[in-house]
Amino acid sequence: MSVRLPLRRLVVNADDAGIDLPRNDGILEAYSSGVLTSATLLATGPACEDFARRARRAPDPAGRGALGIGVHLNLSECCPPASAQGVPGAFVSKHELWERAARSAFDPRLVETELAAQLQRVLDLGLSPTHIDGHNHVHMFPCVAEALGRLVQRFPFVAARRRSIEFPGASEPCEKSARFAALPVGRSRGAIRGPACFAGFCLEGRCSFERLIAVLEMCPAESLELMLHPGRCASDSVPYSAESEREVELAVLLDPRLGEWLASHEVQLVHYGAFTAE
């Protein structure tokens, strides 16, 4: 008999949709044949339009519900700016971006203009986003959070990745969690809702069925977002999208044992839309 866990609702989210065609292939495969429920789309990614087109007509696997699609707001080097002016000093490497954002070196009004353009682009592609988050977790920084606080008044997104900090026990301390835990928590101007817990850093570079199950068993709350980066790989893809770990994560999501484990423990697969309706 399965032990009843605190975890009742699970969002399995794939970041970086739209960065290239192999990534799109893997994400949509993980949705149609695995346990993926959600993906966040880079509005200015080279394969953004391809993902939007295919996601709109993706079949609902096993009556589980449509794929939840969020907007992966970006100020890093992987994609060009969406607005005409961009944000001076942004669109650099993620580490350089983090250092500048930590100093609040960006004008929140310009950030707001840029992110609004990215949100509008996703709407223009005929999608109805379920949530927002930040590529390289840029939404965590105060100068970006300030802009997002105003944007939730202008766009119909009321769910957001709360904090990119893993719950205690998910993994040993890591540089990313420590960096984000040190940031001040800003007040939201909107009704920002989402899963109570977040995990994903603990699986980067070492994802396996056993490790993923261990994370789910440790979750102390009723709801969790599990962040992954599945995809198919190609030698001519962008460097971080061509890493072999993309296919490892995809294989774990396609492992039939995972769906069986979730069913036996009565964990419901949902996307962020389940939280906006509350």
List active site positions: 15
User: Would you list the DSSP string of the chain?
Assistant: -PPPPS--EEEEEEEEETS-HHHHHHHHHHHHHSS--EEEE-TT-TTHHHHHHHHHT---GGG--PPEEEEEE--BTTS--SSSS--TT-SB-HHHHHHHHHTT-S-HHHHHHHHHHHHHHHHHTT-----EEEGGGGGGSHHHHHHHHHHTTTSS--BB---S-PPTTSSS--HHHHHHHTSPPPPPSS--B--SEEE-GGGTT---HHHHHHHHHH--SSEEEEEE------TTS-GGGS-THHHHHHHHHH-HHHHHHHHHTTPEE--THHHHT-
Q: How far apart are CA 236 and CA 239, in angstroms?
A: 8
Compute the C-alpha angle 252/8/270, nearest 5°.
65
223 phi and psi, to 5 degrees? -135, 150
Cα(206)–Cα(174) distance, rounded to whole angstroms? Answer: 14
* Measured distance CA(133)–CA(163) in Å, rounded: 10
